[in-house]
Amino acid sequence: MSMQRGVKQPRRPAGRRWLAVAWMVLPWLLACSSQKPLEAQPNLAPPAASLVAAAVPSETAPPAFDATRAMRYTREVVAFGPRPIGSKAHQKLEQYIYAHLKGVAVSDDLFMADTPAGKLPVRNIIAKFPGKKDGIIVIAGHYDTNYPLRDTGYVGANDGGSSTALLLELANQLRDKPREGYSVWLVWTDGEEAVRQWSENDSLYGTRHLAAVWDKDGTAKKIKALLVEDMIGDADLNIEREVQSTSWLMDLVLQAATALGYQSHFYARSIAVQDDHLPFLKYGIPAADLIDLDYGYGNVFHHTPQDTLDKLSPKSLEIVGSVLLETVRLVDLRK
């Protein structure tokens, strides 16, 4: 994932540099964010409607989410070591994910990606939980880890580890429960990370492929909402308001967070982030990116060997996991 956000930080290291394309396409976003001082960005006021809705007590119990188990999954995923595409550890992780999905309808989207390091296998893993309503809600997060750092001891506890583990625990919550609402598909996306240096062609390999497949086979039209989660294990959790995301869906996430009392972890900052939601937005799919890009002071742990388990908290996994489940419930209820 990559970001751009005004004048707040010095030049970015390779792999998270600002995208020239984004500069051209989104100048107003940059202009907008560069006017705000880093330390004093006001929380965007949520629409009055979501405040009102959030004040109405939910009729069902808050969604369950086993944070201890999700944290154990994160530890187990990290124990495989660096998990870049094309690596042995990546293959082992694929098997680990499949092993957790026994009894669930699973399909994959496997292809060879053209990368600066040659052809590399990329596999999106899709677990399907059928519902009664006609339509699909997708929750996605990447399981590959940073490629250029693969020989540095980098393990991607937050960036790759937390997103993988969160989906595994969501699968536990969804399995064997008949759904009255839309079908829910969990997608472990692959090849999110750049192989050499982040660019439009060297990033988001898995989701660019999957979005095109879903556009062609008609799936895209059935998707009511697509929620991406990335780097959500940070003990100091601050989910950004990602400004390219579909705004009603971002509002719905805040409504869910507010209903659960977690709103203080959401949207203190508005920034544009290049992440797995973008390819789907291109095909008209409503999509939102839930990411915390303030990982350590000034994001210092991001894409460094310091992205380790000790920076994470099970509480953060629980916050994002239960907010996602509540958001699914709210999308189900949406007219």
> In terms of C-beta density within 10 A (0-12 exposed, 13-18 middle, 19 or more buried), how is residue 151 classed?
exposed
Closest CB 210 distance from Zn ion, rounded Å? 18
For 276-289, letters b (16+ CB in 10 Å) and e give bbbbbbebebbbbb
User: In this complex, which beta carbon is closest to Zn ion, that of residue 244 or of residue 299?
Assistant: 299
Q: At its nearest, how many Å lie between Zn ion and the CB of residue 218? A: 31
* Dist. CA 5–CA 29, nearest whole Å: 8
Of 159 and 240, which CB lies nearer to Zn ion in the complex structure? 159
What is the closest distance, in whole angstroms, from the C-beta atom of residue 146 to Zn ion in the complex?
A: 5
Q: How far is the CB of 303 from Zn ion (least distance, A)?
A: 6
Distance in angstroms (rounded) separating the CA atoms of residues 131 and 125: 19
**Is the CB of 2 or the CB of 244 nearer to Zn ion?**
2
Residue type, 148: P
Buried/exposed code over 72-105 (b: 16+ C-beta within 10 A; e: otherwise):
ebbebbbebbbbbbbbebbeebbebbeebbeeee
Q: What is d(CA 200, CA 194) in angstroms, rounded to the nearest whole number?
A: 9
Amino acid code (one letter) for 242 = E
Comparison of 160 and 181: residue with beta carbon closer to Zn ion: 160
The residue whose Cβ lies closest to Zn ion is: 159
Binding site residues, Zn ion, CB under 5 A: 159
Cβ distance to Zn ion smaller for residue 46 or 84: 84
Q: Cβ closer to Zn ion: 159 or 326?
A: 159
CB of 156 to Zn ion, least distance (A): 7
User: Which residue number, 159 or 332, has a Cβ lying nearer to Zn ion?
Assistant: 159
Question: What are the respective helix, strand and coil percentages of the chain, to the nearest 5?
Answer: 40, 25, 40
For the CB of residue 174, give the shortest distance to Zn ion in the complex, in Å.
26
| CB 120, min distance to Zn ion, A | 16
d(CA 14, CA 115): 16
CA atoms within 13 A of residue 272's CA, in its CB half-sphere:
21
